[in-house]
Amino acid sequence: MAHNWDFATILQNWPVLWVGIKGTVFIFVITVVLGLGGGLIVGVARYSKSPFVSWPARAFVEVFRNTPVLVQIIWFYYAFPILTGIETDPFLAAVLGISLNTMAFSAEIYRAGIQSISRAQWEAGKAIGMSYNQTLRRIILPVAVKRVLPALTNRGIEVFKMSTLASVVGYVETLNQAKLISDLNFNPIESYTAVAVIFFVVLYPVVQGTYVLERMLRKGD
């Protein structure tokens, strides 16, 4: 079926789309910081020898890793206020859903990084009088984070794309604004193609940078 491509309305409505892009970047920055930062804490807790620490962390990871992030966002928007009495706007619901989901996945990345460190590193810390926490903080974590940095970068890329799910609860981001342009101008193909192009332009350099980072880390080893 023939289609007359017309991106003129996209250019005419660029200010509308720009609002969405800024919303996407804003929620990405917050969720990636909370998700990757909190994931480190949960990942360390998962590795703990104490069941009182490791089991709650494991339960958290399993719940958020094995349920769809879209459902999590909807749940925080509709069900969370009913259960707690705390109202959540679209932004807060999206931040909770995406950041907690990211936290669960990144926790497993950190845990894998910690587990990859040889026992000799732990013994070396112990030999010079370091406690378990000091060895973890000063020796193990710096090496572990370096090893999993490419995986964390890929996770960050996924978070950026995941931000489009915030539109389901009405948060103003790129996909939400593209839908608005589509509804006003009856051009869904052009509107959503524009979203794809925007994401590609933003993420392609990041992906290439990830490859460079991986090569640098391999040389460093």
Residue 132 located in a structural domain: yes
Q: Is 33 a domain residue?
A: yes
Domain range enclosing 216: 12-220
- The answer as to whether 94 is a domain residue is yes
* pLDDT 10s digits, 157-192: 999 999 999 999 999 999 999 999 999 999 999 999
- How do residues 55-91 score in pLDDT, each as one tens digit? 999 999 999 999 999 999 999 999 999 999 999 999 9
**Phi, psi torsion values for 68, nearest 5 degrees:** -65, 135
The string of DSSP codes covering the chain is -------HHHHHTHHHHHHHHHHHHHHHHHHHHHHHHHHHHHHHHHH-S-HHHHHHHHHHHHHHHSS-HHHHHHHHHHHHHHHHS----HHHHHHHHHHHHHHHHHHHHHHHHHHTS-HHHHHHHHHTT--HHHHIIIIIHHHHHHHHHHHHHHHHHHHHHHGGGGGGGT--SHHHHHHHHHHHHT-HHHHHHHHHHHHHHHHHHHHHHHHHHHHHHHHH-
Residue 7 inside a domain? The answer is no
CATH of the domain at 38: 1.10.3720.10
> What is the pLDDT, as a whole number, of residue 214?
78
- Quick check: is 2 in a domain? no
pTM for this predicted structure = 0.92
The count of domains in the chain is: 1
Question: Does residue 137 lie in a domain region?
Answer: yes
Residue 175, in any domain of the structure: yes
4 belongs to a structural domain = no
Q: What is the pLDDT of residue 220?
A: 62
pLDDT at 1: 67
